[in-house]
């Protein structure tokens, strides 16, 4: 526990005292007690890692006392720090109390030294940062930037089947029957085959099998189911005959067909 | 390369000795032209450069250095500037492509034009049974699928619309004559509705309702 | 595939639909970087270039080409930019942007955030030994040098602060790893979050403080 530095620190030199008094005038210039401690520690003229925390505590309390004597208003946190340093000092000087579970004086002192060193290091880092070449001062960006225009290009999609169906719809408007329930809701393979044969030549590229559903068979679920089955069977027949090609990218994904390339 | 201009202030009266090497002057001109918000004249560059520099010559060196590059040193009136090479203008825009389905009005109008060209607006409206909005035609014109044809030699000399080669190209047709006729459409099952009894009654005021039904039929997915 | 730039045909022996030659890609990157005042990511450049281009490689070529020139291709975080060479700042008196002088508190706070990021306000205050005024952080946020980071997953979920790419750009840093003296500070343990001794022992009414201390224990800076 015996701190060899305590003797030198206890007898703070006159020069240090004068320096401390000079600081008082500038009390507003400090950014809090830690800043003041850091400034005081400079007077020890040693590496911050080897600083005498006890000596520093005494310097600080001397500063506070001086300020009080001069009736200078001190912010509360300066006084809190003074109280804490007094506590630290007693811990450093008195033999450890075995009943006390709290941190030892050395631990507290080491942490304070760490805080001071860290603050000093960050100050130095800040200075190095500000000394770097800076944009708009030492190096420069493009003076005539060009704006990248965002072009939103909309492409409209319509297939020839859409086109033909639209036309057919128009031409048969007068005879159009939106909903017709036939006696039998069965769409035969023959009917599907006949209809599809006529259509496959018209749609050039891959087309969803569903699009071949006859118009009036797609609204009623029952008729739609029948027509889908008929269409599917017809598609298989046509594929077997080499008239169409079928593809399906994944299970349950749409089945697509197109006219088989005859040349090859 | 790095001789700083400060070193030569004393004997600036003898520019021959003091001026930095031309390569260095070129760097200076390069940096100034890059950073300046406006084109710079040779005089204004020279005024910023150390004594004895020849800004005009440095610009010429720089101009040659950028020949064929992605940016160019160009003359703008009496001044100089760095500009993007003309052939790379396409990089200055970011294109977002969006695909949308053509509206029912547009596809019907397009179909009528394709089948009946040349056709006037009045005729289109007659066939569709509803008026054709200017926007629909504009959209089709913008898509380059229809264009104006000749005027009709009839009273009022109405303008006609025809389908374009781009239309044929988009729909994979060699000519508009390849479009299947009504008979073929019927044979293909596209016109397989049997006329319901009293269909004529459905004509006048029901455009909207009918439109909805048909939308459901044709424009799913 | 088909949107290859129109102008590369002279000496390109490459097949018609292949990516443009690297020299051409370099030109494109050059044009884009020259045109932008802000750094551009490789991805954003690639999105504007024809398919098959390797923007990352083109940037490397370009960077080498500009070594020692009046302007430089520099890395800024994940992005790239062209900036004038640092030694030529004296030519750019006209372009200097006067910035508001930062207070000592602001400069220190900025440095602490840059070196300790992500860092909470409490941690900043502990390092400086004083409370951080709202205005200081506001000013740094307004300058776009810091922004909010993720919240700490500790009681109270305090918000953290991190430095931005604009901060890197302003100080000419390639990444936060290039902060001056960073390695030494780390080696000296000065970037560790070291809790005050006995923090865990102070149990009773001090839940909050304890939580903060533990934050420091578990978050590796």
Q: What is the pLDDT of residue A173?
A: 65
Of residues B216 and A176, more confidently modeled: A176
Q: Residue C114: pLDDT band by 50, 70, 90 thresholds? A: very high
Confidence of residue A105 (pLDDT cuts 50, 70, 90): confident
Nearest to B98 among A140, A152, A195 (CB): A152
| pLDDT tens-digit map of B73-92 | 998 888 999 998 988 888 88
Question: Is A82 within 8 Å of A60 (Cβ atoms)?
Answer: yes
Q: Give the one of B35, B91, B94 whose C-beta lies nearest to C92's C-beta.
A: B35
Of C81, C88, C196, Cβ closest to residue A111: C196
Closest CA relative to residue B111, chosen from B182, B208, B41: B182
Interface contact flag, A125 C180, Cβ < 8 Å? yes
In this prediction, residues A59-63 reach a mean pLDDT of 87
Q: Are B122 and B158 in contact (CB under 8 A)?
A: yes
Across residues B163-189, what is the average pLDDT? Answer: 73
Mutate to test the interface with C, among A97, A113, A129 (most CBs of C within 10 A): A129
- What's the Cα-to-Cα distance from C67 to each of A158, B27, C17, rounded to whole Å? 53, 11, 33
**Residue given tokens 């309390």 in the structure block:** A61
Contact A121 C169 (CB under 8 A): no
User: What is the overall mean pLDDT for chain B?
Assistant: 76
Q: Which of residues 47-106 of C touch A (CB under 8 A)?
A: 48, 81-86, 88-89, 92, 95-97, 99, 104-105
Q: Complex ipTM above 0.90?
A: no
Q: Does C115 touch chain A (CB under 8 A)?
A: yes
> Quick check: B185 and A167 CB within 8 A?
yes
Q: Is B141 on the interface with A (CB under 8 A)?
A: no
Q: Is the pLDDT of residue A46 over 90?
A: no
Over residues A188-197, the mean pLDDT reads: 80
Report CB contact under 8 Å: B48, C91: yes
pLDDT-derived band of residue A146, with 50, 70 and 90 as boundaries? confident
C169 interfacial to chain A (CB closer than 8 Å): yes
* B27-50 confidence digits (pLDDT tens): 999 999 999 988 999 999 999 999
Pick A254 or A157 by higher pLDDT.
Answer: A254
The answer for C116, left when phi > 0, alpha when psi is -120 to 50, beta otherwise, is alpha
Is the CB of B112 inside 8 Å of chain A's CB atoms? yes
Q: β-strand C119-120 against C79-84: which pairing, if any?
A: unpaired
Name residues 200-219 of chain B within 8 A of C (Cβ): none
Tens of pLDDT along C48-82? Answer: 899 889 999 999 999 999 999 999 999 998 899 99
Span B52-75, pLDDT tens digits = 899 999 999 999 999 999 999 998
pLDDT at residue C83 is higher than 60 = yes
Contact of C201 with C180, CB cutoff 8 Å:
no
List the structure tokens of A229: 């089955």
Crossing angle of helices B104-116 and B134-142, in 10° steps, is 70
The whole-number pLDDT of residue B63 equals 95
């Amino acid at each position: 526990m015996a701190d060899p530095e305590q003797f030198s620190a206890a007898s703070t030199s006159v020069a240090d005292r004068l320096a401390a008094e000079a600081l008082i005038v500038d009390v507003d210039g400090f950014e809090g007690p830690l800043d003041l401690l850091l400034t005081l520690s400079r007077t020890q003229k040693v590496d911050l890692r080897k600083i005498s925390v006890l000596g520093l505590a005494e310097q600080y309390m001397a500063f506070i006392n001086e300020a009080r004597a001069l009736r200078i208003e001190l912010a509360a946190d300066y006084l809190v720090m003074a109280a804490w340093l007094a506590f630290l000092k007693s811990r450093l000087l008195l033999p450890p109390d075995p009943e006390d579970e709290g941190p030892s004086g050395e631990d507290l002192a080491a942490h304070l030294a760490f805080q001071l060193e860290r603050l000093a290091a960050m100050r130095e880092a800040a200075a190095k940062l500000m000394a770097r070449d800076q944009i708009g001062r030492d190096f420069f960006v493009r003076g005539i930037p060009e704006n990248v225009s965002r072009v939103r290009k909309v492409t409209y999609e319509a297939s020839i089947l859409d086109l033909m169906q639209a036309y057919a719809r128009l031409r048969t408007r007068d005879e159009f029957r939106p909903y017709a329930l036939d006696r039998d809701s069965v769409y035969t393979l023959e009917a599907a085959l006949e209809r599809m044969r006529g259509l496959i030549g018209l749609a050039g590229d891959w087309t969803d099998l569903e699009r071949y559903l006859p118009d009036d068979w797609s609204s009623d679920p029952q008729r739609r189911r029948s027509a889908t089955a008929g269409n599917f069977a017809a598609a298989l027949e046509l594929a077997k005959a080499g008239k169409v090609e079928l593809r399906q990218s994944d299970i349950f994904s749409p089945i697509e067909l197109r006219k088989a390339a005859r040349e090859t | 390369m790095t001789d700083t201009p400060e070193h030569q202030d004393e004997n600036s009266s003898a520019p021959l000795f003091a001026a930095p090497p031309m390569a260095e002057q070129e760097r200076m001109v390069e940096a100034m032209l890059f950073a300046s918000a406006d084109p710079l004249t040779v005089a204004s560059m020279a005024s910023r450069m150390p004594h004895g520099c020849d800004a005009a010559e440095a610009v010429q060196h720089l101009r040659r250095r950028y020949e064929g590059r992605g940016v160019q040193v160009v003359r703008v009136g009496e001044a100089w500037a760095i500009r993007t090479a003309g052939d790379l203008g396409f990089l200055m825009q970011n294109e977002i492509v969006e695909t949308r389905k053509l509206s029912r009005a547009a596809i019907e109008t397009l179909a009528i034009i394709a089948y009946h060209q040349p056709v006037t607006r009045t005729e289109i409206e007659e066939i569709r049974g509803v008026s054709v909005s200017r926007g629909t035609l504009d959209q089709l014109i913008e898509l380059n699928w229809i264009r104006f044809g000749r005027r009709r030699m009839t009273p009022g000399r109405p303008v006609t619309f025809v389908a374009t080669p781009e239309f044929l190209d988009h729909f994979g047709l060699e000519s508009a004559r390849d479009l299947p006729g009504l008979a073929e459409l019927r044979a293909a099952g596209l016109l397989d509705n049997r006329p319901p009894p009293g269909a004529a009654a459905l004509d006048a005021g029901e455009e909207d309702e009918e439109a909805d039904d048909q939308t459901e039929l044709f424009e799913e997915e």
